[in-house]
Chain A
Amino acid sequence: MTTMNLEQAPVRTWLPPDPTDPRPRFVDLLAAEWTKMRTVRSTFWALLAMVVISTALAWVATAVMASQWDTLSAEDRAYLVADPVGLIFQPAASYAQIAICVLAVMAIAGEYSTGTMRTTLAAVPRRWPVVAAKAGVFAVVAFVATEIVAIGVYLLGRAYLSPHVEVGTDLRPILGFGLYLITIGLFALALATVLRHVAGSITAVLALIIVVPNVGSFLPGKWGEYASTYLPGGDGGQMIMSSGQNPGAVVTPWQGYGVLLAWAVAALVLAAVTLARRSAPPSRSAI
């Protein structure tokens, strides 16, 4: 390790910053957050695992469906005919949403566990732009990765199922797959900003988007329907990646997605406000 020899270097007088120096803009913060995301190995591996595993799951599921076609009940067959796209995407989405939520939680709660958040908040003392920039970078990265899955899964599913049903060529479900996943991911990112803890946030997010809508759907009468339709992670939000024709659908794809988006936006606003108001986690000696 070489060290600058302090005695040898000449002392120069410090000069104040030139007031005409360019001021940082929001795009500079986006660049910084992009650097943060791409320079930890876990990002790449989490995304690769998401792409491989969700595609593999969809492959197996559609292959099984196609091979069992003749033994399906009339009810199941009617469902498949009404919404083949939804059934192609379902297995991939149920895994991918977990991977995407973990990635989202890591992007922000990971900063708390490593102490990087103190550096971040000292660099951006207004704070809320941090949430905005992180959400923006996450959304773009997650959308690209999930659309790779969406296209692969769609082509696979179509190849297996087209002998039996007509798989539509509508772009909405294919884009909807990515939209659903980044929106549920943004909800997770916002929650992690409030909870500031990796394991706690992952547990809370998975409970909220998987357990709660499932349990809720067993509620009697209308309540069960509301729970599965309007809670994040419920069937309503997933309508965006379906044909919209499945029996029992109570909202249109865009309505269902709108409700999910509203959840994500509300959570992000809460996250920005919480981050701006709260003290940064103190160093060990401060308490």
Chain B
Amino acid sequence: MSDSAPVIQVSQLTKRYRGKAAVDSLSFTVQPGRVTGFLGPNGAGKSTTMQLMLGLTRPDEGSATVGGRPYRELVQPLRTVGALLEARSVHPGRSAYHHLLWLAQSQRLPRRRVDEVLDLVGLGDVAHQRAGGFSLGMGQRLDIAAAMLGDPGVLLLDEPVNGLDPAGVRWIRDLMKRLAAEGRTVFVSSHLVNEMAVTADHLIVIGRGKLIADCPTVAFVADNSESSVLVRSPEVHRLAQLVVDEGAQWQRESATAVRIRGLDSDRIAELALLGRIVVQELRTETSSLEDVFMRLTEDQVEYAGKTKEATP
């Protein structure tokens, strides 16, 4: 095997709960050396997918492998995969040090790794305090320490920034980027689009357990966002005519404003000048990643509130 970190391979992964597919024939790969965002609305199947990857739940069909092997076959799993699960997974009565100590012992890792990861996450000073007294941010750091214990090539992080303060969010974001820069495979789930936009290099988007998109973050934004130009002018009708002649579409926004699609603002300014039309405002608007995501997953949101009643 080469020196690069293991690749995660998910193929045709399916998990049903009471006959309903939580994860539905999901296939994708996660490459090392970059942060891969796993994006989807709440209830899309992100956590279930991560539990399937960790062998905590058995798939009904398909498989998830790390470096070509199912997680359950790993002899020293924490040396290969470090995971941060969304739910609480530390005994509140045990100290941070002892939580990491038993984990290290179970993997036959040296005791000094415990001190190393405690220092890495900045919990060295509170190592002997009970984990139950930790703040949310400290608890998250302890989970990160546990994930880093075996110096794994693969990191699976389920909603790591949930509930953290801005400093905590920033810290996790920097850490993920850094781990990816070190050549590791970093897979992080989130329902926060904007968070993923600044953290992830690559996106895997799911809705209702199905794959919606699998592409670089930049391409995802470019492909899915549409821009339009808002023009305010006392002579919007004349301008609209000129725009139509150029093959673009327009849409009335108000008596003195139109939205134009299919032409950029430079060309619209030229047309206005040639037609001697006064333009009071010329503004390019790009739909945000949030909008893109909402549009893509509109019919995928599991528990969307009903906004309109079906007519009989």
A14 to chain B, nearest CB (A): 4
**Contact present for A110 and B91 (CB under 8 Å):** yes
**Contact present for B92 and A114 (CB under 8 Å):** yes
Within 8 A of B (CB), among A35-80: 35-36, 39-42
Which residue on A lies nearest to B17, using beta carbons? A287
A3 within 8 A of B: yes
Partner of A2, one of B101, B125, B183: B125
Partner of A35, one of B55, B58, B80, B101: B101
B 148-179 binary contact with A (CB < 8 Å = 1; else 0): 00010100001100000000000100110011
**Contact present for A39 and B94 (CB under 8 Å):** yes
B98 within 8 A of A: yes
A163 within 8 A of B: no
Partner of A1, one of B5, B85, B138, B158: B138
Partner of A116, one of B91, B153, B183: B91
A11-B181, A122-B56, A123-B107 known; A6+B175 contact, CB < 8 A: yes
Partner of B87, one of A28, A118, A122: A118
Q: How far is the CA of A283 from the CA of B89 in the complex (A)?
A: 9
A193 to chain B, nearest CB (A): 16
**Contact present for B125 and A279 (CB under 8 Å):** no
B164 to chain A, nearest CB (A): 13
A15 to chain B, nearest CB (A): 7
**Contact present for B184 and A14 (CB under 8 Å):** yes
Q: How far is the CA of A12 from the CA of B179 in the complex (A)?
A: 9
B 108-134 binary contact with A (CB < 8 Å = 1; else 0): 100000000001111111100000000
A20 within 8 A of B: no
Partner of A17, one of B80, B119, B158: B80
Chain A residues closer than 8 Å to B5, beta-carbon distance? 14, 16
Interface CB pairs A-B, < 8 A, 27:
A1-B122, A6-B174, A15-B3, A17-B151, A24-B75, A28-B106, A32-B103, A32-B106, A35-B102, A39-B94, A40-B94, A111-B91, A115-B89, A115-B90, A118-B56, A121-B55, A122-B54, A122-B56, A122-B83, A122-B85, A123-B103, A123-B106, A125-B55, A279-B57, A283-B51, A285-B87, A286-B57
Which A residues are closer than 8 A to B by beta carbons?
Answer: 1-4, 6-7, 11-17, 21-25, 28-29, 31-33, 35-36, 39-42, 110-111, 114-116, 118-126, 279-280, 282-287
Which B residues are closer than 8 A to A by beta carbons?
Answer: 1, 3, 5, 17, 22, 42-43, 46-48, 51, 54-58, 71-80, 83, 85-95, 98, 101-103, 105-108, 119-126, 138, 146, 151, 153, 158-159, 171, 174-175, 178-179, 181-184
